[in-house]
A and B are shown apart, each in its own frame.
Chain A
Amino acid sequence: MSDPMAEIRASFFVECEELLESLQDALAAMGDGEYDGETINVVFRAVHSIKGGAGAFGLDALVAFAHRYETVMDAVRSGQVELSPDAVKMFFNAADYLQDHVRAAQEGDAAPEGADECLQELEVFMGMPMGAEAEEEVSDFQPMGLMLDLDIGELDVGETVPAKETVFTVDFTPHSALFVSGNEPLHLLRAIRGLGALMDVSLDIDRIPDLDALTAEQSYLHWKIRLAGDLREEDIREAFDFIEDVCDLGINREAGEEAPLFSSAGPDTTGQNPSRPADTQPEDSSVAPLTDSANTAPPKVMSSPANKPSATSGGAAGGQKSGSEPSPTVRVDLDRIDRLVNLVGELVINQAMLSQSVTESGFPPNSAVMTGLEAFMMLTRDIQDSVMMIRAQPAKPLFQRMGRIVREASAAVGKEVRLKVEGETTEVDKTVIERLSDPLTHMIRNSVDHGLEMPEQRRAAGKPSEGVITLSAQHRSGRVVIEVEDDGAGINRPKVLQKAIDKGLIAPDAQLSDTEIDNLLFLPGFSTADQVSALSGRGVGMDVVRSAIQSLGGRITIQSEPGKGSIFSISLPLTLAVLDGMVVSVSGETLVVPLNAILETQTLTGADLRKLGPNTNVIHVRGEFVPLYDLGAELGYRGAMETYEGCIVLLTAQENGQRNALIVDQIIEQRQVVIKGLQQAYGHIPGVAAATILGDGQIALILDPADLVQNATGYTRSDFSLAG
Chain B
Amino acid sequence: MRDHLFEALRSHGADHVDIRVEERMVTRISYRGRTLEEASILSDSGGCVRALVNGGWGFASFNDLDSLQASVRKAVAEARYSSGDHLSLPEREPVEASVTSLPAVSISQVSLEQKKQMLDEYNDIIMSSPRIQSSHILYGDTDRTVRYSSSDGTYIEQKVPDLSLRLTAIARDGDEVQQSGVSVGTVGDLGPVMMLHDQAHDVAQRAASLLNAYSLKGGEYTVVLDPVLAGVFTHEAFGHLSEADLVYHNPQLRELMVLGRRFGGRHLNIVDDATLPSLRGSYAYDDEGTPGQRTALIHDGVLEGRLHSRETAARMREPFSGNARAISYRHGPIVRMSNTYIEPGDVSLADMLADIEEGVYVKDWYGGQTSLEMFTFSAGEAYMIRNGEVAEMLRPVVLTGNVFTTLERIDAIGNELDMNQGGGCGKGGQSPLPVSNGSPHIRISRCVVGGR
B is bound to A: no
Give residues in A with beta carbon < 8 Å to B.
none
Interface residue ranges, B against A (CB under 8 Å): none
